[in-house]
Amino acid sequence: MKKIFLKLFLIPILSTSIFANNIKDYTKNSEVQEFINELVKSYKFEKEKLAELFSKVKTQEKVLKYYFPTKEIKTNEDLRKLKKSRYGTWDDYEERFIGDERAKSGALFMKKHKKELLKAYKKYGVQPEYITAIIGIESQYGKHTGAYPVFDTLTTLAFEKNSRNKFFKSELKEFLLHTKRNDFNPREIKGSYAGATGMVQFMPSNLKKVAVDFNNDGKVDLNNEADAIGSVANYFYISGWDKKIPVATRVSYQGKRFEKFKTGFKYKYERIELVGIKPRSKNFHYPNKVHLVRLDRIKYDELWYGTKNFYVIGTYNRSTYYAMAVYQLAKKIKSEYKKLI
């Protein structure tokens, strides 16, 4: 199957309070006027309803600081420093996302939604524990789906100066189209400070592409468990997931810090090239090229091989830490689930 590259531009939801925002009339902005006219002409929106929406926008000034250029990454050391500034060490990231409680909650989620997860596995070929792990990391199984008003957030990011105006204007259009298709009130939907929504935190541009009405109620609602499960499975399927191959395996190397080869999603290697590196497990059977994944611990670097499936997880969020967290949480969830049956 031809690989479809889907970027969600997801950002983990911050547990932070939303400060008072200014109410602004965006209909006075000529760019917004053009935007409204396009929606009316091309997608048959009602101009009066759009004018009412854009006349009372609570500008989300706090979100703008996340969308300005960052320092260029040229070396492994630059990447190490950036990861530390964003996530801390792998020890910190692991504690935050792969704890025992999250795994136990995931096992309970799997038990409760066994029917939907089995249906998704049969249709899309994605194992239940990986679907569950995504939902667990993105929203703690639906407990934390975001506190920012999505319409106000996307309008702010689309029309207030920042490094991603064009991108967020497109996302705003897709968000409004989604609410129109499903008869949702745009003002009632909450999400992340990037505009991602639901239990699985999809960006609006991915809603039509991969989100599915998995419970057949006529609406795509990613705050509904069945739709969330089906949508994650469909995303993995479209992105090239293969249930027959492994995801990752830890490898050995000489020393405590690894700098010999470049690591991350940009680079793939034939295993024969990686002299001095070998899997710790004898059960890793994967003949194709691998990614090298470096996890920066406090006292040493942990090194892994990542397969095509590891890359698929990484298309959901372009971070090797994120993909590794999904992989390891999925394994823990499956182990905890076996205790329940």
- By annotation, the residues acting in catalysis are 138
> 306 forms bridges with which residues in the sheet?
248, 291
Angstrom distance (rounded) from CA 266 to CA 259: 16
> 303 forms bridges with which residues in the sheet?
251, 294
In this structure, the number of other CB atoms found within 10 A of the CB of residue 51 comes to 16
Mode of pairing for the β-strands spanning 190-191 and 148-149: antiparallel
Angstrom distance (rounded) from CA 16 to CA 295: 27
Coil, helix or strand at residue 278? strand
The beta-strand segments (E) located in the chain are 23-24, 57-58, 148-149, 190-191, 248-252, 278-279, 291-296, 301-306
